[in-house]
Structure 1
């Protein structure tokens, strides 16, 4: 199974704890990366032609440029100081020296996640905000246990993000144990936190959201969460020390609605404890040790709305126990041993709006079981054994907005069977063999915002039809080696494009001139083309001010 230039292996490995990823955040090279939010609030200086920016914006911009001239902003109204701070962070101009000007400014929100140079020396100014401070993001910083001692007096703090802070240990947890107003706490990817250290969480009685993703030393520590009766969300993803035993202390958390156990060493035995959680509506068991044995207990989780069972050794026999989960809205069965017969058990899930069947054994005979799921808005059939003719069975799903058909056997004929789905906004035909003729059918999908056609057989002639899709925001035409500079000319009118990929084509530097009109472009990928990084940089500096990611680069 799989399409041309398959992305499946890359996608399967992206969350693996053994990949050796940097602790720093990274953006994906695919067209999807742009959907990630930028965490730094800023003043927006983008104006329509002829407009004059507001005086306040001009002042903040000027202060940003001359920041070294100012010793303190404590005399300014808090909201003004906050805007100046946010803009300095966004523009990456805040330094340990300029930070001093914000001492005692009563700022409320300090978003310094992944900001270079943040360490214990910054904590004095941060803590000087006192009881005004509500939210702090220090993710990826070099703050240590000692640095956290400064936060003891910030008793109003409600949100604290310490993801990827690998110099914080159990001693640091003691420093925040008195911050009883915290509602959100995040400690992703920390090897030093232990079960004993988690005793510091027992006093955080107002905690609503706790994130301990990739904390490998917390086995036995969840017992300290028993008293957190307001807890609604708990992320234990890739905590490969967590077992069925650790689930027992959670059974009394009556408000727990979201539980992420992806990559944990739990089995179906944990479902006994989870069945005691009346509010549980979102459960992620991807990549756990689940098999058909014991899956009958899933039927007890009657309030589930989101269930992820991907990458487990479960078969159609397991799906029998999903029949009664009539509140399900999202179901992930990625890479399970699911076949056509199993889909019959989903036919009654009338509220289902998202279904992930990628890399399963689903084929042409199974799709008719889905034809009555009128609420379906998103379905992934990539790397399955469906055929062109079987896609007719999806033609009545009028609510469908996102469809993934990344499968080599899908051709123009399959696309022709889908033209009734005029509400589609996202269509992935990455490995499908769509020709120039097949692109004629795309005219029916006038609401498309994202399109991928990378089967290798498109030419400039086919792009003539794509240029009519004026709502497109993301376009991936990579792997089509016959595309030329004419393609860039044809799509130059798609001014809403934010992401464009035409890699492995015959695009040259000469064709870049056609991209001048794409002012909203933020990601441009032209790898394995006759294009140089310097030419893209020139284009960016003059015509594409919003471009933040480009390849080659």
Structure 2
């Protein structure tokens, strides 16, 4: 969370998590300073840190030495492929690869080139990429400056199985022609592309082995889905946030009987379009967030016998017709957030005993409606944010012993109501973003020793209340924002050694002493102490936090230059800083 304490109660997250709030996890924008936090490169770098007590392997030592002396090598083509691959991976992970050093990997028969979000990648890199020939299996060039011309080089890499061109906005229909012959492709992704059109999608018609296709945020593909009708092996299709998609685009999908996941959120598809999907008996995930569908679409959805994950957030649902929910007995995840439904709708969820996640965010749900959830014993995640639920309703949740996550933000829950949660021993995440929660409420939660995430954003927690935090030894994420904390209260936080995220913003009386006290929380990855009395002299206490990736110090007596010095000299993993 940022420096501000207030949140928009109806703020739309563009790409939420289907399990809690929507579709797909959001990627960082191309110019974002923190994009390396979400890098698509997943292989670990050589783990060699002098003094950590571990003896590195001889291979690790060699790779580390090669990385340091990379400018001295002209080619690695004589090395075994697996060794060359590890050297390449290490250079990418450590950001030591350049267009010049890339030349050493020409003709190395590498199998995987993960260059997603790597700076400087453009067409001039593609000749070396293509030199891997038939050995090349997967390439990630997301966020790069590769153009249509660069894709010409991939024609001879006939064994390619996976290509990722997300956010490559210089690739158009012409570029698709160059990959149309790669019939071994099983995974292809072109997220956020404004140049691909329906006509260009004809290049996909020959990719008969395609299993996964991602065209999220491609606004000109209306009419192009007809070229997918013979891709019978397709199991996953993402065309979310393509506002051009209409009911007519659903008809070509009706024969894709192997389809297991379909995401069409924020499109123009209506109940009529959903009727074309009735024959997709293997479909287990359907994301319709923001589509103008009503409860009438449940007639078609009830024919989807394998359906387990359904997102109807921000649709046009009312209580009318919700009785058909009772047919969807295999559902594990159901998102009904931001719909005009009331307690009357919840009556028809009683039989969905396989439900593990239910999202009712911003629905007109009250205390009495929660009685219909008492039989959902498999429920692990419950989202009740911005509803009319109060303390009395929580008594209906006390028997849901498998609950691991509850969001009660922006409700009218009070301290007394929290006592009804004290028996939920499986609870790991609790959001109490509400002004009426005080130290007294926190005291009633001390039995929940398994809590890993606790959000008290906006709650009236004081120094005395932080005494109760000592019970939560497993906490990984803690937010106490806008409370009345001083340095004295922070002393009760400094022993929570499992913390990876700490947000203490809007506590205006915190000083440099706070940074000194949390200097032992070496597992911290994200720290926010905005709008406090932190000064430049206190930054020295953060030098021990070597795992820190995100640091927010807005409205503090620190300059961007002070933070940059800390980053460059002491915190090499810090990639997101505010102020910049």
Verify same fold: TM over 0.5: yes
Instruction: Name the CA shift for 1:318/1:195 in 2 (closer, same or farther; >3 Å).
Output: farther
Q: Give the SS at the match of 2:166.
A: coil
Q: CA deviation at 1:328?
A: 2.0
Q: Whole-Å Cα distance in 1 between the matches of residues 31 and 251 of structure 2? A: 33
Q: What is the distance in 2 between the residues matched to 1:142 and 1:325? A: 48
Provide the residue aligned with 1:494 in structure 2.
521
**Count of aligned pairs between the two proteins:** 544
Moved more, 498-507 or 165-174: 165-174
Distance 2:33 2:10 in 1: 14
Structure 1 counterpart of 2:210: 207
Q: Aligned ranges for residues 414-429 of structure 1 at < 5 Å? A: 414-429=441-456
Q: Is 1:404 aligned to residue 406 of structure 2?
A: no
Q: Could you tell me how far 1:147 is from its partner in structure 2?
A: 2.6
Match of residue 514 from structure 1: 541
Alignment of 1:377-388 (within 5 A): 377-388=404-415
Cα distance change on mapping 1:207 and 1:379 into 2, 3 Å = farther
Residue 330 of structure 1 is matched in structure 2 by: 357
1:366 paired to 2:393: yes
Indicate the SS of the match to 2:338.
coil
- In structure 2, relative to structure 1, the CA distance for the partners of 1:335 and 1:213 (3 Å cut) is farther
Q: How does 1:381-530 map to 2 (within 5 A)?
A: 381-530=408-557
Secondary structure at 2:491's aligned position in 1?
Answer: helix
1:135 positional shift = 1.1
Report deviation, 1:453: 0.3
Contact 1:292–1:315 (8 Å) recurs in 2: yes
Deviates most, 76-85 or 400-409: 76-85
- Which residue does the alignment assign to 2:179? 176
Change (3 A) 1:259 1:303: farther
1:110-162 per-residue CA deviation (whole Å, 9 max, x = no partner) reads: 11112233233322221221221111111122223333233233222221111
Deviations 1:15-74 (A, max 9, x none): 599xxx98517477xxxx997456264333334346665443343334334434433221
Contact 1:248 1:273 in 2 (8 A): no
Range with greater deviation from structure 2 (227-236 or 101-110): 227-236
**How much does 1:244 deviate?**
4.1
Aligned to 1:471, the other structure's residue is in SS state coil
Choose the corresponding residue for 2:240, options 212, 237, 251: 237
Q: Secondary structure at the match of 2:455?
A: strand
In structure 2, how many angstroms separate the alpha carbons of the residues matched to 1:412 and 1:485?
Answer: 24
Q: Deviations over 1:147-192 (max 9, x none)?
A: 3233233222221111112222333333333333322221111122
Structure 1 length as normaliser, TM-score? 0.89
* Structure 1 position 154 matched with structure 2 position 160: no
* Aligned-partner Cα distance in 2 for 1:88–1:210: 29
> Structure 1 unaligned runs (5+)?
none
Aligned to 2:275: none
Return the offset for 1:294: 4.6
SS at match of 1:314: coil
Alignment correspondent of 2:66: 63
Alpha-carbon distance change, 38 to 375 in structure 1, aligned in 2, over 3 angstroms:
same
- Using the TM superposition, give the Cα deviation of residue 384 of structure 1 relative to its aligned residue in structure 2, in angstroms: 1.8
**Deviations along 1:387-429, whole A, 9 cap, x unmatched?**
2211122212111101111111111122122111111011011
**What is the distance in 1 between the residues matched to 2:302 and 2:202?**
25
Unaligned 5+ segments in structure 2 are: 17-22, 269-290
Alignment RMSD (CA, Å):
3.0
Partner of 1:348: 375
Deviation at 1:228, TM superposition (A): 3.5
Larger CA deviation: 491-500 vs 193-202? 193-202
CA distance in 1, matches of 2:367, 2:247: 31
Report the secondary structure of 1:12's partner residue.
Answer: coil
How many Å apart are 1:295 and its aligned residue? 4.3
Q: Within 1, Cα distance between the matches of 2:335 and 2:351?
A: 16
286-295 or 127-136, which moves further after superposition? 286-295
SS of the equivalent of 2:104 reads helix
Counterpart of 2:280 in structure 1 is: none
Taking the aligned partners of 2:129 and 2:333, their CA distance within structure 1 comes to 38
Normalised TM-score (structure 2): 0.85
**Which of 85-94 and 349-358 deviates more?**
85-94
